[in-house]
Amino acid sequence: MVIFMTNQEMKECIVSLCAWHKARVGECRFFIDNKKDADIT
């Protein structure tokens, strides 16, 4: 499944997911950094 989102939408989505899972800020930033460099297919 390929999802096309703007950077802002992706950040908002990831932040929401982090809040949902009660992730620490450091974990959220790590996740964002990984997603930014990953090939989403």
Q: Where are the domains of the chain?
A: 7-37
Token pair belonging to 33: 């950094």
Length of the chain in terms of residues written: 41
Burial 8-19 (b: 16+ CB within 10 A, else e): eebeeebeeebe
Does the pLDDT value for residue 8 go beyond 60?
yes
pTM for the structure as a whole:
0.29
pLDDT in tens, 19-39: 656 555 555 565 656 666 555
Q: Please give the Cα distance from 18 to 1 (Å, whole number).
A: 21
Torsions phi, psi for 12 (to 5 deg): -65, -40
